[in-house]
Structure 1
Amino acid sequence: MLENPVITTGPKSAPATLDDVAKMAKVSPITVSRVINRPELVSEKTQKKVRNAIRKTGYVPNMLAGALVSQRSRLIIVVVPNIANRAFVDTITQLGQRLATARYQLLLSQSDLAHSSEAELIDAILARRPDGIVLTRQLQSPEARDKLIARGIPVVETWELTQDPIDTVVGFSHEAAGQAMAEHIIARGHRRVSLVWSDDARATRRRQACVDTLRAACVEVVACELEAVPVNMGNGREAMARLLAAKVPMDAVICSIDLLAQGVMAEAQANGLRVPQDLAVMGFGNLEFAAHTHPRLSTVNVDGGRIGLRTAELLLQRIEGRLGRREQVEDVGFSLVVREST
């Protein structure tokens, strides 16, 4: 009976070092370090030589060691409630691209920012020693806010305006957006309006402003269907089915987001209603599909890409000391996109 063969392997090669790269490129180790960390100080010819040597040796820079020397981690952490939320895609894309040009890495942290766990989340984030933090939703816990303020780390709160910012803000007024949605429906002559709405804090502020504006114009809010986040098109169809089953007398439906509006339109049309002749439908967010529904969806556009770019610019200014804490609250505004659904 043959014995199982013993398989041996040779000694593993040690990972390439900065000195290995310097020797292959025939430059000093300091030059290699500059190409990695401050390429603007090195000629393009030398950069090319060093990068070729890095590629051939397989050298991977030790960012932790660099952080110990520079006292910067070159890490930015972005907290999002749900990575599937389409509203944040353009913001994160532009934010990441601009930060990359400044040699910063983006790390996404998904959290619903529940009040009870906010302080724990902030502790976990701060333990990674980021150079900056981007919040896509306001913190509700005073303890969590105090931790960020005490640490002094640059923070940008996005996608809304706040009266009591932690640091820097890039956003828009949800109250003004809700008012504008109502004013558009009023101008179209509708008098009995239903709402299909998500129940998060921002949407609630839009809804309250919308309702106040409708009632001030003596427009009746005949029904309000609230949906737990995250929402989808199916939630909109189900909400509309309930309204139709209850025979709610309505001539318009305003929705907190385009996904719900798409579902509302689909269910209305499936039941023989014409949009907008029998029922006007309005959304919020100007998501990509809104221009391709039938009829095309009236909505509110928020420039998420601009929010991301301005967030990156202001965050870099804060990190570099060119902008002080709480010195900038930037309102990027919004715009109505009027299409055939209203």
Structure 2
Amino acid sequence: MRDVSRLAGVSTMTVSRVLADPDLVAEETRTRVLDAVAQLRYVPDRMAGSLSSRRSGFVALILPTLMNSNFADTAQALTEGLRKAGYQLLIGVTLYRQDEEERVVQSVLTRRPEAIVLTGMAHARETTAMLIEAGVPVVEIWDVQDRPVDHVVGFSNVEVGRAAARHLAGLGHRRIGALGPAADGEARDVRGEERLAGFAGGLRECGLPDDLIQRHPRVPLSFTEGGEAMGRLLERAPDLDAVFAVSDLLAVGALMECQRRSVAVPEDLSLMGFGDFEIGRQTVPPLTTVRVDARAIGLRTAEVILDALGADRPPAPVHDLGFEILSRGSTRPSRRTV
């Protein structure tokens, strides 16, 4: 900073003021300082400044994976929503493990984030305690339940599953199965488990059995796991006439397995996914799916954070953005009803 002040011909206090609050400095002086900063390639030490200001300029975003395009869309929208207030994202990845989430939360807290965003609402007890004691806004995303740590932005995964069951049953299907994650292991897709639970409950509400749910032990679930699970399900129930997969990636793998086994979709079997991934729109036939607005989740989360950091407008704790079913070519009415 002393080098910048000498080059610009101003005091170090003026340099500090330009970098912290440029509107307080005259335009000509501000221009000289910023030109000197650019010429010297000076990067301010924000962490040192935060010791006195208690501002780091960072918001921590903790995701289960970077491979999911929906999570990427949420992160991009969150970045856009926070940029106008000068915040940047600090991203951590949990690999669907609660013990890893605990380590990531502990690590990001040493960087003094001004808010923390986590995927889902199922955390280890120690993680929850750290979040409560952090003293910053906490937003849980991609889920909705009544008792968030602080705020929650998303939708009900249980209701997604229930709506999928009603949709397939409404087409007249009676032998309906599902593909999803196992409810144990060190790595767990809790939101996928909730969609399966909602689906099973929806089948029972429709007077149908819920005994054709095929769980795969590996997470995250993608094409390979979808093909494997679909193969096992078809061997268990050759008379299967509809399947719900808890993600489009899983559903695409299931579609490929049906093609390998000469099971026609949707003529022999209706297939439905979740997530509205781009690949599901390009398959033949295109996938019927449940769409959630990943960008809207990111933008609303940014609004909640900025409102929570402001003094005059505390945000509501629960923000349910809902979902919609997109009916495409992979489902059709059962031949029983045609």
The code of the aligned residue for 2:289 comes to T
Aligned pair in 2 of structure 1 residues 273, 40: CA closer, same or farther (>3 Å)? Answer: farther
2:59 touches 2:90 (CA, 8 Å); kept in 1?
A: yes
- 1:70-219 maps to which residues of 2 (within 5 A)? 70-112=53-95, 114-116=97-99, 119-199=102-182, 200-219=189-208
The code of the aligned residue for 1:312 comes to A
Aligned pair in 2 of structure 1 residues 44, 290: CA closer, same or farther (>3 Å)? Answer: farther
The code of the aligned residue for 1:181 comes to A
Which of residues 271, 282, 294 is equivalent to 1:281? Answer: 271
Give me the identity figure in percent.
39
Which of residues 246, 266, 278 is equivalent to 2:256? Answer: 266
Quote the Cα distance in structure 2 between the aligned partners of 1:113 and 1:267: 26
The code of the aligned residue for 1:57 comes to L
1:298 touches 1:337 (CA, 8 Å); kept in 2?
A: yes
Cα shift at 1:176: 1.4
Quote the Cα distance in structure 2 between the aligned partners of 1:193 and 1:44: 68
Q: Which residue of 2 aligns with 1:337?
A: 326
Q: Determine whether 1:295 maps to 2:285.
A: yes
Aligned pair in 2 of structure 1 residues 113, 273: CA closer, same or farther (>3 Å)? Answer: closer
1:81 touches 1:137 (CA, 8 Å); kept in 2?
A: no
Q: Deviations over 1:265-311 (max 9, x none)?
A: 11112222221111110000001111111001010111111111111
Cα shift at 1:198: 2.2
1:119 touches 1:141 (CA, 8 Å); kept in 2?
A: yes
Question: CA RMSD for the aligned pairs?
Answer: 2.3
Quote the Cα distance in structure 1 between the aligned partners of 2:323 and 2:179: 21
Q: Determine whether 1:234 maps to 2:217.
A: no
Q: Deviations over 1:199-230 (max 9, x none)?
A: 32222222122112222222344522112311
Quote the Cα distance in structure 2 between the aligned partners of 1:307 and 1:43: 39
The code of the aligned residue for 1:137 comes to G
Q: Which residue of 2 aligns with 1:256?
A: 246
Normalising to structure 1: TM-score of the pair? Answer: 0.86
Quote the Cα distance in structure 1 between the aligned partners of 2:112 and 2:45: 16
Q: Deviations over 1:75-96 (max 9, x none)?
A: 2111112222333111111112
Quote the Cα distance in structure 1 between the aligned partners of 2:198 and 2:100: 29
- 1:316-335 maps to which residues of 2 (within 5 A)? 316-324=306-314, 327-335=316-324
SS in 2 for 1:108: strand
Which of residues 45, 64, 74 is equivalent to 2:47? Answer: 64
2:234 touches 2:240 (CA, 8 Å); kept in 1?
A: no
Quote the Cα distance in structure 1 between the aligned partners of 2:111 and 2:43: 20
> Which stretch of structure 1 is more off in the superposition, 72-81 or 41-50?
41-50
Aligned length: 324
Normalising to structure 2: TM-score of the pair? Answer: 0.87
Aligned pair in 2 of structure 1 residues 139, 181: CA closer, same or farther (>3 Å)? Answer: closer
Q: Which residue of 1 aligns with 2:185?
A: none
Q: Which residue of 1 aligns with 2:294?
A: 304
Cα shift at 1:333: 0.9
Unpaired segments of 5 or more residues in structure 2? Answer: 183-188, 332-338
The code of the aligned residue for 1:37 comes to A
Quote the Cα distance in structure 2 between the aligned partners of 1:247 and 1:146: 45
Aligned pair in 2 of structure 1 residues 119, 281: CA closer, same or farther (>3 Å)? Answer: closer
Quote the Cα distance in structure 1 between the aligned partners of 2:10 and 2:103: 47
Q: Deviations over 1:241-263 (max 9, x none)?
A: 22333453111111000011101
Quote the Cα distance in structure 2 between the aligned partners of 1:44 and 1:191: 72
Who wins on radius of gyration, i.e. which is larger?
1
1:118 touches 1:139 (CA, 8 Å); kept in 2?
A: no
The code of the aligned residue for 1:297 comes to L
Q: Which residue of 2 aligns with 1:51?
A: 34
Q: Determine whether 1:243 maps to 2:226.
A: no
Unpaired segments of 5 or more residues in structure 1? Answer: 1-17
1:223 touches 1:248 (CA, 8 Å); kept in 2?
A: no
Cα shift at 1:122: 3.4
Quote the Cα distance in structure 1 between the aligned partners of 2:63 and 2:151: 17
